[in-house]
């Protein structure tokens, strides 16, 4: 090889020594070729227009693509099939020059997927429960093993999974093979609910039945591995076990998918399941859950105008329901039981006055509704906001927020008999160690009520999710599972000895609360490579909107970086700012990733949510636009190189922002977006919940209807204006139907100025992308290639 390279270099030198005479001969014989014309850009599909006029509240409008939503019209659906095929060919043609880039991106993203083939084992009583994927199989297997059989094990290693080489025995019990379930349900296995009975004898679970478009309930006997003859109900939305594991309560939906009936089934009995309650109101919904100690079952009946909580004795589910709580308007209510007291975590109004955050109440179990008095446990404190709570036999754990900083604070139970409300500052709750830049803390299932260990998932924009076990009795902590991107491996710790290094580090530091939470090697933090900043952005009306910005300091250049701005702003949900490994491909290419915590979302209290919903939805849109302008004006992102990204209701946010200011974004990705609220809320094809109307507005109310018309992306597309490049992705399994995405894409192309450098694309998937991580990689690679192509065009 060295000789060949030398020879090539020698020939290159000789070529440079060609005499002018020879060179002139070459020039004389040279005939320039005519430049080949560039191929014409592909033309976007043009679906047929069949205008239909609608009138509501005296206002009329025309919808030329209404036919796309006529699911029962066979002719319309044939046209839709042809149109979908045209869209598929069009996106392939437009993105054909990115095939190598997509392949590279998919390889990058695939290499970052966790190699972990098992979920962290969850201890409940004597058992450790976990799911693992067997080699060559598409779906996981639910397994368990006795904790005493082998404390130190690694269940993700194949083929040794479930095999103890010391004893030479198999110590694993397979409970449910979802690959076999896929055979039962037409090659598709999607589970929504699964609950093991408190005696560990039965598994109740619901699987999606494609043919009947519902979730089907099954109960499996774990001792024998066989399905029980009953119950086997359809359209099940919720399940809860009784105390002894012999009674299973489940909620059934009507044909509009409204949860309205609760049944009780006695396992092993030949008697018919008993109907406990039926909610007749079309606006009424029912929900059921068990308290963590399995002493009671709680029934929540709610609508837009009221919330009621009933208590059922878990040992005797047929003994009736006792009312324990009632309030006006829909409220979030969770009831727990601890040593004779009921604890209510709610955001219901106090004394007729709306509250901005959740609070915790307590009341003795043995009280009638008329004499029941709920006492407030903690005094209101604007500095410490309680975001969530979790209970065990000995501890109450508060997930708190101090401005933008999260805390995890255990408090010993039982609480003292109180003469007045407890001030959190006075009891000085000790905070468990957390890394920097925490964006969310989620409690685990924590089934084992009598365990001193609780599990939480810690999320951060600069750190892969960490599943952490905290021993509340001594404050020691153990990272059970977290991907380590730096070493391309996954940190998985099982049992006691494998967590010794973490416990030892806590001991070496004195008390556990003195463990340095900024120890990057401990938390697999990526702050050595990426930076995270939070800016205060003033919106159009003077309100301050938090804007989180993540970037690579090595690749940051003033006013030269492309950027991607995320937004959601709905249902009071905290914006997902978790580290997503697919975004690393953009960060490493010099992109800035930003998150706009606009009104309508969570993290700012109930008022923050209410100020971005219904008639005030326009606030969330203006907040997003203000954040986009801030990024450009402060030269964090290069002018004309900012893209938007929104999922579901976030798609509505970004699309509405584009209508308001089409030149602000260069490109946008809208994933399974909500784009046609006027028609969807007025004439829902798929069932909607009270939360949907409470969020986006009830079209029966003229004020709400007028607000919907103003922010609806589909109805406010500007004419004869150049729109940014837009990629809309949708799925046949989304709540907001494919027709919404198809109508929007067709309407944008029809109204806006056509420019092949600003294509409007529709990408459809037949499966739920989130359930298949490799399909998710493929779709993410397409979206990322689209963004890069649009910025470089």
Q: Which of 569, 553, 575, 579 is nearest to 613 (CA)?
A: 569
- Give the containing element (helix H, strand E) for 3: helix 2-16
What SS3 state is found at 781?
A: helix
* CA distance linking residue 139 with residue 580, whole number of Å: 22
Reduced to 3 states, what is the DSSP secondary structure of residue 782?
helix
pLDDT value of position 428:
65
Q: Output the pLDDT for position 746.
A: 96
Task: Residue 390: name the closest of 347, 454, 475, 476 by CA.
Answer: 454
Superfamily of domain 81-111+529-792 in CATH is Alpha/Beta hydrolase fold, catalytic domain (3.40.50.1820)
Q: How far apart are CA 389 and CA 398, in angstroms?
A: 5
Can you spell out the DSSP letters for 522-567? HHT--TTT-EEEEEEEE-TTS-EEEEEEEE-GGG--TTT--EEEEE
Rounded to a whole number, what is the distance in angstroms from the first to the last CA of the chain? 40
**What is the number of H-type helices and E-type strands within the chain?**
17, 40
Rounded CA gap, 619 and 115, in Å? 43
Cis amide prior to 231 (ω within 30 degrees) = yes
Q: Residue 66 has what DSSP assignment?
A: G
* Residue-level pLDDT at 37: 65
Encode pLDDT of 88-127 as tens digits: 999 999 999 999 999 999 999 888 877 667 788 888 988 9
* Helices marked H in 675-772: 677-682, 690-696, 702-711, 738-751
Contact 257, 161 (CB under 8 A): no
What integer pLDDT is reported at residue 304 of this predicted model? 77
Residue ranges covered by each domain of the chain: 81-111+529-792, 126-177, 190-344
To 5 degrees, how large is the angle CA 356–CA 342–CA 348? 20
Phi, psi of 384 (to 5 degrees): -110, 110
User: Where is 76: in which H helix or E strand?
Assistant: helix 74-94
Residues of the chain with pLDDT under 70: 1-38, 115-116, 150-169, 369, 425-428, 486-521, 733-736, 766-773
Q: What pLDDT is recorded for position 244?
A: 86
pLDDT for the residue numbered 155: 45
Report pLDDT for 532.
95
Question: What pLDDT is attached to residue 161?
Answer: 56
The strand pair at 285-290 and 226-227 is best described as unpaired
Measure the CA–CA gap between 37 and 688, rounded to whole angstroms.
52
| Distance, CA of 671 to CA of 404 (rounded, Å) | 28
Question: What's the chain's length in residues?
Answer: 793
- In whole angstroms, what is the distance from residue 367 CA to residue 551 CA? 56
pLDDT score for 36: 62
Beta strand spans in 303-437 (E): 306-313, 322-328, 333-338, 341-346, 359-364, 375-376, 384-391, 395-402, 405-412
pLDDT of residue 728: 96
Q: Three-state DSSP class for 634?
A: coil
CB atoms within 10 A of CB 686: 13
Confidence at residue 772, expressed as pLDDT on a 0 to 100 scale = 62
Q: Which two tokens stand for residue 247?
A: 């009674």
Q: How far apart are CA 495 and CA 500, in angstroms?
A: 9
CA-closest candidate to residue 112, choices 484, 463, 462: 484
Do the beta carbons of residue 410 and residue 429 sit within 8 Å? yes
Q: Write out 425-460 in H/E/C secondary structure.
A: HHHCCCCCCCCCCCCEEEECCCCCCCCCEEEEEEEE
What is the signed CA dihedral for 198, 203, 206, 210, rounded to 10 degrees? 180
Q: What is the pLDDT of residue 678?
A: 93
Q: Using one digit for the tens of pLDDT, what is the confidence trace for 486-543?
A: 654 333 333 332 333 333 333 333 333 333 444 445 888 898 899 999 999 999 999 9
What CATH number has the domain spanning 190-344? 2.130.10.120
* Residue 664 pLDDT: 95
Q: DSSP for 221-253?
A: ETTTTEEPSS---SSEEEEEE-TTSSEEEEEEE
Rounded CA separation 122/245 (Å): 19
Q: What is the dihedral of CA 83, 85, 91, 93, to 10 degrees?
A: -120
3-state secondary structure 443-508: ECCCCCCCCCEEEEEEEECCEEEEEEEEECCCCCEEEEEEEECCCCEEEECCCCHHHHHHHHHHHH
496 phi/psi in degrees, rounded to 5: -90, -45
């Amino acid at each position: 090889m060295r000789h060949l390279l030398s020879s090539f270099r020698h020939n290159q030198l000789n070529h440079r020594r060609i005499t002018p005479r020879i060179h002139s001969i070459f020039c004389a014989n040279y005939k320039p070729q005519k430049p080949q014309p560039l191929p014409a850009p592909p033309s976007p599909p043009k679906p047929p227009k069949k205008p239909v006029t609608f009138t509501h509240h005296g206002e009329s409008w025309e919808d030329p693509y209404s036919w796309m939503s006529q699911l029962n019209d066979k002719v319309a659906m044939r046209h839709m099939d042809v149109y979908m095929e045209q869209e598929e060919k069009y996106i392939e043609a437009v993105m054909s020059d990115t095939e190598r880039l997509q392949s590279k991106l998919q390889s990058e993203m695939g290499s970052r997927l966790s190699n972990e083939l098992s979920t962290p084992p969850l201890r409940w009583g004597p058992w450790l429960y976990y799911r693992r994927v067997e080699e060559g199989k598409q779906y996981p297997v639910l397994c368990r093993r006795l904790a005493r059989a082998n404390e130190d094990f690694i269940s993700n290693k194949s083929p040794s999974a479930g095999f103890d080489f010391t004893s030479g025995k198999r110590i694993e019990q397979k409970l449910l093979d979802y690959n076999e379930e896929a055979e039962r349900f037409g090659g598709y296995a999607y589970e929504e609910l699964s609950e093991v009975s408190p005696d560990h004898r039965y598994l109740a679970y619901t699987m999606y039945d494609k043919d009947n478009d519902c979730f089907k309930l099954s109960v499996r006997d774990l001792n024998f591995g066989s399905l029980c003859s009953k119950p086997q109900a359809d359209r099940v939305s919720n399940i809860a076990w009784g105390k002894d594991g012999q009674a299973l309560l489940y909620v059934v939906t009507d044909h509009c998918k409204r949860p309205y009936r609760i049944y009780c089934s006695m396992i092993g009995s030949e008697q018919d399941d008993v109907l406990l309650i039926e909610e007749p109101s079309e606006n009424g919904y029912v929900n059921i859950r068990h308290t963590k100690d399995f002493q009671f079952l709680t029934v929540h009946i709610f609508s837009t105008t009221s919330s009621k909580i009933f208590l059922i004795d878990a040992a005797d589910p047929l003994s009736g329901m006792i009312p324990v709580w009632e309030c006006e308007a829909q409220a979030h209510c969770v009831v727990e039981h601890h040593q004779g007291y009921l604890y209510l975590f709610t955001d219901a109004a106090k004394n007729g006055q709306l509250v901005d955050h959740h609070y915790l109440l307590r009341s003795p179990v043995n009280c009638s509704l008329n004499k029941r008095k709920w006492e407030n446990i903690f005094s209101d404190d604007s500095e410490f906001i309680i975001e969530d709570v979790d209970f065990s036999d000995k501890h109450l754990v508060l997930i708190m927020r101090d401005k933008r900083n999260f805390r995890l604070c255990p408090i010993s139970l039982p609480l003292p008999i109180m003469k007045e409300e407890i001030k959190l500052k006075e009891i000085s709750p000790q905070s468990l160690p957390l890394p920097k830049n925490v964006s969310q803390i989620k409690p685990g299932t924590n089934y084992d009520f009598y365990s001193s260990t609780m599990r939480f998932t810690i999320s951060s924009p600069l750190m892969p999710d960490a599943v952490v076990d905290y021993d509340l009795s001594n404050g020691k902590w153990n990272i059970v599972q977290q991907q380590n991107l730096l070493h391309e491996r996954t940190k998985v710790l099982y049992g006691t000895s494998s967590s010794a290094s973490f416990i030892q580090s806590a001991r070496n530091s004195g008390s556990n609360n003195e463990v340095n939470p900024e120890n990057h090697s401990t938390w697999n933090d990526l702050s050595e490579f990426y930076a995270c900043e939070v800016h205060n952005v003033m919106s159009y009306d003077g309100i301050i909107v938090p804007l989180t910005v993540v970037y690579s300091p090595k690749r940051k250049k003033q006013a030269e970086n492309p950027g991607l701005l995320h937004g959601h702003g709905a249902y009071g949900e905290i914006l997902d700012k978790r580290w997503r490994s697919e975004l690393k491909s953009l960060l490493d290419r010099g992109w800035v990733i930003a998150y706009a915590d606009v009104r309508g979302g969570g993290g700012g209290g109930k008022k923050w949510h209410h100020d971005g919903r219904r008639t005030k939805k326009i606030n969330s849109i203006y907040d997003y636009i203000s954040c986009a302008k801030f990024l450009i004006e402060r030269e964090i992102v290069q002018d004309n190189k900012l893209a938007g990204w929104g999922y579901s209701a976030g798609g509505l946010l970004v699309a509405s922002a584009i209508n308001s200011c089409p030149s602000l974004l260069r490109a946008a990705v809208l994933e399974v977006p909500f784009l046609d609220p006027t028609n969807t809320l007025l004439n829902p094809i798929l069932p909607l919940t009270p939360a949907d109307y409470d969020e986006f507005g009830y079209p029966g109310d003229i004020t709400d209807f007028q607000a919907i018309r103003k922010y609806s992306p589909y109805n406010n597309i500007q004419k004869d204006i150049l729109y940014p490049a837009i990629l809309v992705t949708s799925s046949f399994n989304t709540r907001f139907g494919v027709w919404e995405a198809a109508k929007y894409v067709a309407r944008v192309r029809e109204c806006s100025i056509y420019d092949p450098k600003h294509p409007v694309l529709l990408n459809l998937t037949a499966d739920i992308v989130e359930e298949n991580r490799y399909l998710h990689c493929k779709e993410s690679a397409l979206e990322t290639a689209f963004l890069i192509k649009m910025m470089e065009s």
